[in-house]
């Protein structure tokens, strides 16, 4: 399918370029202590951030959806808003605020605070839609709230937790902005350094190939957590019985306050501090407006193209599960963990060798966004279609409508809210993408992300602040939509 072909472009590029180097050159780069250190550090960072995100995301989702905590709606909004802050903006904010902010644990902190909404949002939706009958039966048999959550609720939301954790792990493996600003040497930073400073493209691509292997291992591990043939559609519209927190309310509020203060407070206060000096520069307002318009156009094209490619894969996975659907779904994830810089190089190769009319156009950048973020759209389409009642489609088929007519008139309209949420998430992520945008943007096509990176790299924090503020404000719009419709 077309979606799989797009996702495989970076892998084809890696295969061609790495094979050209020869086995001796590959072994020279691969079997070194440096590669082992990079692999262990990258995996350790992904593991730490994923575990922390799962803990924070599940706890926040449960407290917001299942307890009598006052102000739950406001807390739900605050729990999702860090999704609007790019990791490189957060890293820039922390580095410009805290002295000597660098290293493994500092990078883990930044990535956790920016990434836990990837777990919070699907888990909150799963908790809101889970059947309360099973929990009520467990409680009637004498199990307490914690035992019921561990033995019943957690089983119901396990697919959402696994999917969110997988996205976090892949995001951490592919992140470039935060680890570069906070200065922790992992695969993505080493790849960027090899290409831009060491002029060692072959060595960088060998390291990228190792990232593909790690991604396959993660996908296999996540696949083992799934139940074959299990469906987790909403089967009840009854409200859940909320747990009374009592004296624990103060501790819960302290938990939300700590998370919000570190995830939102530090970046926002830092941006406000630098913003005044930044907008006072001559011509700064027009430059920011131009960059914002170009960012919006590129992100919109990327989101629409990604959705069009994801629809067949997501619908096939939801309605005709099997080896083919599983293979197409897994292929979509393979390029998601690759650094944007490698995706950019592969699309440059594709543009020059295969689709030259697209080279140096915003359409090639949109194609790179599709290769990067296809799993986000596929997951949203598949989940939304799985919750649409299949009986309606069966009735339509019995009346003589073909598969595509049924999908167009029944499945897609019923799944529209979930598909819209997936589109919003892809648009948001396209707005924040940095390395592929740096490499593939047409000459003179500056976006908020590229301008922010240019000024931050030169330690021009005041000049970078207006771009960061506008980027966060624009990203907050689809984030708010996701909160309201998730």
pLDDT of residue 229: 43
Please write the tens of the pLDDT for every residue from 276-286: 665 556 557 78
Q: Indicate the range of 26-40, 143-157, 449-463 predicted with least confidence.
A: 143-157
pLDDT > 90? residue 305: yes
Is the pLDDT assigned to residue 153 strictly greater than 70? yes
Q: Is the predicted pLDDT of residue 258 greater than 60, yes or no?
A: yes
Closest to 265 measured CA to CA, from 78, 48, 422? 78
pLDDT of 132 higher than 80: no
Q: What average pLDDT does the structure give for the chain?
A: 80
* CA 466-459-116 angle, 5° bins: 65
**445 and 361 in contact (C-beta within 8 Å)?**
no
Of 49, 4, 349, the closest CA to residue 182 belongs to 49
DSSP string, 270-320: HHHHHHHHHHTSTTHHHHHHHHHHHHHHHHHHHHHHHHHHHHHHHHHHHHS
Q: Which residues contact 484 (CB under 8 A, 6 or more apart)?
A: none
Neighbours of 231 (CB within 10 A): 12
Is the pLDDT at 390 greater than 70? The verdict is no
- Is a pLDDT exceeding 70 seen at residue 449? yes
Q: Give every CB contact of residue 199 below 8 A, 6+ residues apart in sequence.
A: none
d(CA 60, CA 274) in angstroms, rounded, equals: 31
Range ranked top by mean pLDDT from 237-251, 386-400, 426-440 = 426-440
> What is 355-369 written as a DSSP string?
-GGGTTSHHHHHHHH
pLDDT exceeds cutoff 90 at 17: no
pLDDT at position 485? 60
pTM: 0.79
Residue 300 is predicted with a pLDDT of 94
More reliable by pLDDT, 99 or 321: 99
Output the pLDDT for position 472.
85
Of the two residues 399 and 310, the one the predictor is more confident about is 310
For the cut 90, the answer to whether the pLDDT of residue 333 exceeds it is: no
- Dist. CA 331–CA 5, nearest whole Å: 9
Q: For position 44, what pLDDT does the model report?
A: 93
The percent helix, strand, coil of the chain (3-state, each to 5) is 80, 0, 20
**Confidence band of 389 (pLDDT split at 50, 70, 90):** low
Contacts of 117 (CB under 8 A, 6+ apart): 57, 79, 80, 81, 82, 83
Residue 67 above 90 pLDDT?
no
Torsion angle in degrees (nearest 10) through CA of 299, 300, 303, 307 = -170
Beta-bridge partner residues of 243: 67
Q: Are 374 and 423 in contact (CB under 8 A)?
A: no
Q: What residues does 67 pair with on adjacent strands?
A: 243
Distance, in Å, from the CA atom of 83 to the CA atom of 85, rounded to the nearest integer, reads 6
Domain spanning 2-227+246-485: which CATH class is it, in words? mainly alpha
Summarize the confidence of residues 258-266 as an average pLDDT.
Answer: 88
Q: Where are the domains of the chain?
A: 2-227+246-485
Chain-centroid distance, C-alpha 371: 13
Nearby residues of 374 by Cβ (< 8 Å), 6 or more positions away? 3, 6, 7, 306, 309, 310, 313, 332, 335, 336
pLDDT at 226: 59
How would you label 203-220 residue by residue, b for 16+ Cβ within 10 Å and e otherwise?
A: bbbbbbbbbbebbeebbe
Q: How far is CA 22 from CA 31, 94, 261, 417, in A?
A: 14, 43, 51, 49
């Amino acid at each position: 399918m077309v979606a799989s072909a797009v996702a495989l472009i970076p892998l084809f590029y890696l295969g061609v370029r790495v094979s050209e180097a020869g086995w001796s050159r590959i072994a020279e780069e691969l079997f070194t202590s440096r590669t082992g250190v990079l692999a262990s550090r990258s995996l350790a960072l992904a593991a730490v951030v994923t575990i922390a995100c799962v803990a924070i995301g599940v706890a926040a989702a449960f407290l917001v959806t299942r307890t009598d905590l006052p102000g739950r709606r406001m807390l739900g909004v605050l729990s999702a808003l860090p999704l609007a802050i790019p990791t490189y903006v957060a890293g820039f904010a922390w580095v410009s605020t805290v002295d000597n902010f660098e290293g493994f644990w500092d990078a883990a902190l930044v990535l956790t605070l920016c990434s836990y909404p990837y777990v919070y949002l699907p888990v909150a939706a799963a908790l809101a839609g889970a059947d309360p009958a099973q929990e009520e039966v467990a409680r009637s048999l004498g199990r307490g709230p914690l035992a019921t959550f561990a033995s019943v609720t957690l089983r119901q939301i396990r697919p959402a937790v696994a999917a969110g954790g997988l996205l976090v792990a892949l995001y951490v493996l592919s992140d470039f902005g935060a680890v570069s600003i906070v200065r922790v040497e992992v695969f993505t930073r080493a790849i960027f350094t090899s290409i831009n400073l060491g002029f060692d493209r072959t060595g960088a691509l060998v390291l990228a190939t190792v990232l593909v292997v790690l991604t396959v291992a993660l996908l296999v591990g996540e696949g083992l957590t799934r139940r074959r043939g299990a469906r987790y559609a909403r089967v009840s519209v009854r409200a859940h019985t909320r747990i009374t927190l009592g004296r624990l309310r103060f501790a819960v509020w302290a938990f939300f306050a700590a998370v919000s203060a570190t995830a939102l407070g530090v970046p926002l206060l830092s941006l406000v501090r630098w913003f005044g000096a930044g907008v006072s520069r001559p011509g700064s307002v027009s430059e920011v407006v131009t960059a914002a318009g170009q960012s919006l156009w590129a992100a919109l094209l990327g989101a629409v193209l990604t959705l069009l490619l994801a629809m067949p894969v997501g619908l096939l996975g939801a309605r005709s599960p099997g080896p083919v659907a599983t293979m197409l779904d897994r292929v979509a994830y393979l390029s998601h963990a690759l650094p944007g810089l490698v995706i950019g190089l592969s699309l440059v190769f594709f543009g020059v060798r295969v689709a030259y009319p697209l080279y140096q156009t915003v359409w090639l950048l949109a194609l790179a966004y599709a290769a990067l973020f296809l799993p986000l759209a596929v997951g949203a389409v598949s989940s939304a279609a799985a919750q649409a009642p299949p009986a309606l489609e069966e009735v339509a088929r019995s009346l003589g409508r073909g598969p595509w007519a049924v999908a167009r008139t029944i499945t897609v309209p019923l799944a529209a809210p979930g598909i819209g949420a997936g589109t919003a998430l892809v648009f948001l992520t396209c707005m924040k993408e940095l390395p592929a945008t740096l490499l593939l943007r047409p000459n003179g096509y500056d976006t908020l992300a590229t301008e922010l990176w240019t000024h931050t790299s030169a330690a021009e924090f005041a000049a970078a602040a207006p771009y960061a503020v506008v980027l966060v404000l624009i990203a907050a719009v689809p984030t708010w939509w996701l909160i309201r419709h998730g």
